[in-house]
Structure 1
């Protein structure tokens, strides 16, 4: 816009009606943070090591610490904005991510979430790893053999029909269901092999494309349609790509979304594949960019404050789409001034130019709740995001997890002051039959640390795939949970004596649908507190059943 122009956008920062004033007025720290960058990748490039505030301790989650570095570096090289610091950080993450991923490799070339602790490789993860290894070769040295072994193993699991046989447990059980299981798997693997540009695998690809083309008219799932559209875009089959996008554009290029997937990682993936399919056509015009900007807007709305999304797969695919868009629309920053005003005064002022275009600028937004105006003067483009943190009260809805926590021994004595056990019982009560991979996080009371040897022993339980111990919490990775109540014991010992202990929490959640969770509080057996058993509900930050209280001393 002309340098003399001033444009303003008004926005409202409010707490939901269910949040009482007391729950936010008593907090000392700022609750709202305004972030600004001159580039759509600003938050990503500044947070490559923490795109997700979730554990990344298995072979699929490790990829979120690995792949985004490749995407960001590709983009920054394209726009000639790579800084030595960002490049060094990205290369270090690539090297460590590559080495760590090899720990999850099976002897036959496949990969699984927990490596040889799993009975067999996982065909989804193997395709994901092969594609990433192929991309990272441009930046670090890797052995060609793992890529060859992985793709050969994928080929061994291709059926005469052209589809691929499902091997290993799916990451996310939202992807299950009818014929779309087989087709989405085939499309995913085909996209991975196409992105590797392996001429020797042309026959395998053609066979898969033939099957997908034949089945395309019978697909109802928006996710599978979007993934197939991207596959045909990679294969340069313009006719098939357009046929599939016409169905999807009716749903996603207008206000509203597919309500069956609202707020989920699957919705992010679906929109990202639609955007990638549009952006992968031979020529993208300015009118094309305008046409599918609603999808970009919906993706940006679902970004977290670090540039990631809900979980692993959607973060990688979502970033791939956003970065491809950014590469097509990038222009060097001019000289832009951004002012944030309340009704009463000028609160914040930022300046964006070519020197700090990729810098993520942040400042607390004071005076919330309230109405604010962002005014922009100068020339260029800026991306502004507000992050609001608040407490919400418990409320009843459909239960997803049941979580019971007790400390033992129940009676306080001298021994219990030094050492006690958490007895955790958990089950899944949602409508899917079983959860996805679930994680239990046991936060430590002040002055206590986990007994590492006893936590490690939990891996003898069949559904426990991994445990992690740090001074502040224990994380237990569970393959899945169903309606069967599962029991775990986490032992702790006192390291430093602390007076007037405050309660700590035990948290269980579905890794791929974090809104499905439960939280329970506990205190030491010799404290004058209580242990709360709680049940969580979907889409509620803090949740419980009518309280059941157990006296802890």
Structure 2
């Protein structure tokens, strides 16, 4: 079926909260609100409230689609693999590994594992695009090895695959213990400037410490890497991101310097409601309700470090904060922040009881009946959802009554004796809002001069379509000077197509810059190795597959994969196609567009109106599809 474009640009917003109850305070309530922007497309608004009684519940429900970003390279494919490990580890730890969830998670893992093997090179290493890359990647090989080792208790992993990857990693270690990267570091934060060797070495060391057999076999490499990291800590590590990785690597190594590293990192932070935050450059970053992906990663490594060091009480507020930052799918912004955050949450939250019996009520206003949810020990992993009526300003009152979840805290006394206490956290209500905005309104609100000053990339789009059946898109882009860096990590260029058009067969070839071309309905995605200040231009040849009248504009977005908020968007349109009615395409009297006509039913209007096909029954089916898509 031909996918018509919904009007405007799709947007979403999620806001979560943790309601806490205890024997002394058996009820709790919170307020949450959201205002739709002035340029919202009327009729596109939709809002749901979801409630779960387990901090991992949203992610368990969302397994298989935790993020919306494309997953067409060796690292991104791991989003289909790694989160399932932590879910199964968590469910096993709390005694809730039911057959349905276990089967679902292991099926995802097997598919992700089989897909990842296509990115393993002949020398045993892994890279973003496998043998098409000039070299394996130390970073990606360590990431895959780490996840494969963790998955061994749940699915069958070929030991030969593990040994080859570990053997290749050994060859990438320098004489002073640091690990070197012969390939591309597609994660820009791991490039780390002068601290790059610290973050990469810590990342590899974490992988080698995941398995006792690997740790023993490569004991010399582990010791050498640890000495390098401890030495660099003593000399000073300026990057907060590198220091967060270093903290966890030292904690896993049982290094006596782990608490020193953690104290240094926390000492640099600004405490906000008990949660450490590190100021980072917001150059080229668009405004969003979501935190920066690097912030999620850093706090996740801090939480993992605190758990390893037994500093459980210190980590409770970080756990709560991480639990409330997820999107409506149960993940975060990218592969890495989703994977490490779910590992941190599952590890930290495993030591708690499940005595829960709560009634949650969500009220919008006095005139509308509230929505109630019952959350108990039997359904607390279930993510219950209810659509609510939308209005210009959504104001929700959420309340909970009953028994909550007891989190077992371990507090280390001055005598180094572990004591147990019980702190109570409760359930996770979440408001999810979906809507479209008119793209021309977004452009006006942003302003061309302001956009060029603050956006991450320069982007120009020009459409050449003098003929009916073909067109060309000319796209030129470069890295904005405002970012203050010479190059990025992996960049995705998502090219929305005008209704009726598709990429010409073999129209784009891969090269050193364009690593992969992926087509989706109404969209072409280019995986770019990186972007620099030097302008790069792309010509995208298009062919008309369906005749369409009143064609709407389409958008082109370029963004950094590991920080999607570093993005630039432009729209383009065809004036003459946008003004052309369906009758122009099928005759003056429009007979061919009517149900009793004789045409093949391939004439549409992309504005959601005048949908005309060769019979009334197919027309009804298409109309229903469009309604579901837009709302």
TM-score, normalisation: structure 2: 0.76
Q: Indicate which of 394, 402, 416 corresponds to 1:378.
A: 402
Aligned residue runs from structure 1 range 129-528, under 5 A:
129-197=144-212, 198=214, 199-217=216-234, 218-237=236-255, 239-252=256-269, 254-255=271-272, 257-260=277-280, 263-281=291-309, 284=310, 288-329=311-352, 331-344=353-366, 346-366=369-389, 367=391, 369-380=393-404, 381-389=426-434, 391=437, 393-395=445-447, 396=450, 397-409=453-465, 411=466, 416-429=467-480, 430-455=483-508, 458-459=509-510, 461-524=511-574, 526-528=576-578
Distance in 1 of aligned mates of 2:512 and 2:24: 67
Counterpart CA distance in 1 for 2:364 and 2:301 is 38
In 2, Cα distance between equivalents of 1:386 and 1:114: 37
Q: C-alpha separation between the residues in 1 aligned to 2:363 and 2:538?
A: 52
Residues 274 and 515 of structure 1, relative CA distance in 2, 3 Å threshold: same
* Cα gap change, 1:271 to 1:145, in 2 (>3 Å): same
Kindly state the Cα deviation for residue 211 of structure 1 after the two structures are TM-superposed: 1.6
Distance 2:383 2:148 in 1: 29
Residue in structure 1 matched with residue 613 of structure 2 by the alignment: none
| Partner Cα separation in structure 2 for residue 194 and residue 244 of structure 1 | 18
- How many residue pairs are counted as aligned between the two chains? 510
Structure possessing the higher radius of gyration over alpha carbons: 2
SS at the partner of 1:14?
Answer: strand
More moved, 81-90 vs 349-358: 81-90
Report the CA distance between 1:344 and its aligned residue: 1.9
Cα distance in structure 2, aligned partners of 1:360 and 1:29: 24
Cα shift at 1:435: 2.5
- RMSD, matched Cα: 2.3
User: For the Cα contact (< 8 Å) 1:120–1:168, is it kept in 2?
Assistant: yes
For residues 66-111 of structure 1, the C-alpha deviation after alignment (integer angstroms, 9 at most, x for no partner) is 1111111111122222233322221221111111111111211111
Q: Deviations over 1:498-525 (max 9, x none)?
A: 2222122222111112112222222347
Paired with 2:323 and 2:356, the residues of 1 have a C-alpha distance of: 23
**Is the contact between residue 192 and residue 239 of structure 2 (CA under 8 Å) also seen in structure 1?**
no
C-alpha distance in 1 between matches for 2:48 and 2:143: 35
Deviations 1:109-138 (A, max 9, x none): 111111111111110001111111112222
Note closer, same or farther for the CA distance 1:389–1:61 as it changes in structure 2 (3 Å cut).
same
Structure 2 match to 1:9: 29
Unaligned runs of 5+ in 1: 531-553
How far residue 6 of structure 1 moved from its aligned partner, in angstroms, is 4.6
Q: Deviations over 1:221-268 (max 9, x none)?
A: 22222212211221223x322111222333458316111167322221
How far apart, CA to CA, are the structure 2 residues paired with 1:385 and 1:333? 21
> Displacement, 1:342?
3.8
- List alignment gaps of at least 5 residues for structure 2: 1-20, 283-290, 405-425, 581-631
Larger RCO, structure (CA 8 Å, separation 6 or more): 2
The TM-score, its normalising length taken from structure 1, stands at 0.86
Deviation, structure 1 residue 290 = 3.6
Superimposed CA distance per residue, residues 355-386 of structure 1 (whole angstroms, 9 cap, x where no aligned partner): 21111112234445254322111112311222
Task: Report if the CA contact (8 A) 1:4-1:377 is conserved.
Answer: no
